[in-house]
Structure 1
Amino acid sequence: MIVRTSRLALALAFALVPLAAVHANPVPAQDAPVSAAAAPAEEARSVLRAQVLLDRAHFSPGEIDGESGSNLRTALIGFQRSRGLPEDGELGPATWAELEREAVATLVDYTVQGEDVAGPFEALPTDMMEKAKLDALGYTSVEEGLGERFHASPALLRSLNEGKPLDVAGTVIRVPNVADAPAPAAATQVIVDKSEGTVLLAAADGKVIAQFPASTGSEHDPLPLGEWKVTGVAVDPTFSYNPDLFWDANPEHAKAKLAAGPNNPVGRVWIDLSKEHYGIHGTPEPSRVGKGESHGCIRVTNWTALLLSEAVKAGMPVLMRE
């Protein structure tokens, strides 16, 4: 299903509100126990390892799932370009040598915290009018919340921890080693590349320092090419739904405000742009990023949106190119 997550009404709220205050699934404290000490010997060259190392290098493969795909290939090409390597999108010896410059484990131990399992976890309706009746748009399962925390698909977490109860505090589970990755270098420009389906951060010298998969519009709502600027950043925003701005909206829908939370239509972050109704934002469907269309806006995973919220500021230029 294509997520309807763009052409926002101007009434989008920009108040910076702690996540715990706006939905019932607070993000666990950043000092929750994560340890690599018990990491077993790992297969040196696997798709999973490549995804983790690319994520840590800020050339994101999107949702980590241990499988090859278009997002992984795009991430590899971006990483190779940034290192002056042949841009073939393959995991050859030279690319592995660059990835392995940071000698870290692929997986680490994580102790499930009380906050992770507190809930409540409830199935959410798909209809906008029904969603507008809810007080929060939190996670639907423990696996979904843990997946976002560790940039991983819930299916991968279940596979890595077969037989372990992910919904019991105190359980020690295996997760992708992404939590302690260093922040990217300071950026001075955001670039949205339509042909590659990416969001890039560039330094003052023009060098690309980070790349993330993105959904960047559709035939009905094409990406607004040109030069724009960041005008503001909202973490955990509410969403002002205006069916008049959606070509495929249900004609029986009315304007409505949807509560904040990770399953809000714009996810956990809205980065407002000088192009009216357009922004860079998160999504409740990370597996669709880079693989589905949007309603004109730039859709990224929630964890990418959170990273971008720290990397950009009002006035920063945003280039949208073909």
Structure 2
Amino acid sequence: MIFSQVVAFSAILNLFCIATIASSSCQPNTWLNLTSLPSPRQEHTTVAIKDETIAVIGGITSNTFTTTDLMQLYDVASDTWRTGSPVPYRVNHPNAAVVGGEIYLLGGLIDGPGTSNGSINFVASGKCYKYIPTSDTWVQLEAMPSGTERGSAVIGVRGEMVYLAGGMSVLQNTYQDSLTTVTAFNTTSGKWQRLPPAAANIPHGRQHAVGSVLGDVFYVLGGRWFGQMNVRGTVFELNLKNQSAGWRTSLGHMLVPRGGLCGDVIGSTYYTFGGEGNPNSLSGVFNETEAFDVSTQRWTELMPMAVPRHGTHAAAIGNRVYIPGGGLQQDGKPVVTNGSVLFSNPSAHFDVYCVEI
């Protein structure tokens, strides 16, 4: 009995030490490497569950643009990965949010009809599911309303509601669209809800943008309009308590406009990282880290990414922003790597940006 108590105490102490060591090594405005993803990924989504687990859902797992149904789960305390129950369908650019400790997967892009020359052809799916961590199971939900199916939307959560802004319905080698659509899913009723006409569209089409809800305001930051190089630095805002007033555009523009970026909120500040469409980089990827303080509406330049990437999502826990995987080069851009010409380069790299609070 005494021996088992000692073993149990030692296990608790080890977990405490892991957390303490990790915390002390996370200095403000620095990057810290974590255990790599089990396999390279990009064009996935990333969400945090109860500040204990980070889920990486769907995406593309190779430089041949292979869409996956893989879900991998990262345990924050132990810095280890495990594989969860597969997503019910293969999806890239998925839209996902966490409400009440459960993941809501609300559409995304799937493989379209194959082409003779192997070109990319991703089209929208409106399939929706809920993931229940306690049973490691997926439950089917009401599909996205016809005509609103899309991937790469900006997600915001307020109470029981999940809001989706912008996104894209098709992604091909030579064409991709950029939507203004804004929709909402009620996680209590399991139904999609209409927004007032003034709130039902953002001011301009955006995809591969970032954003979330802070307080009562839904923010959409950066992104792009159609092609990879058409990057934007705008910030759109919607007061969810006064949706009939519609969207407004902030006077604070990104210092370096970017699409394909990632980010998340800590306190009253939104932190943004990386992106693609950089004409001044051989890889076509941005390394910028920029912060937008919603209280002052000002942007600040911070420590650049140690490993610049695009096509990933970020999840904030405490004073850290976790960024798993992502692409090391702009998709479709020929880049010579280790003697080979690559047109995409998914990474398993996993790091965290440390924020001063």
TM-score of Structure 1 vs Structure 2, range by shorter chain: under 0.3
TM-score with structure 2 setting the length: 0.22
Which one has the bigger helix percentage?
A: 1
TM-score with structure 1 setting the length: 0.24
Higher RCO by CA contacts (8 Å cutoff, separation 6 or greater) = 1
Which one has the bigger strand percentage?
A: 2
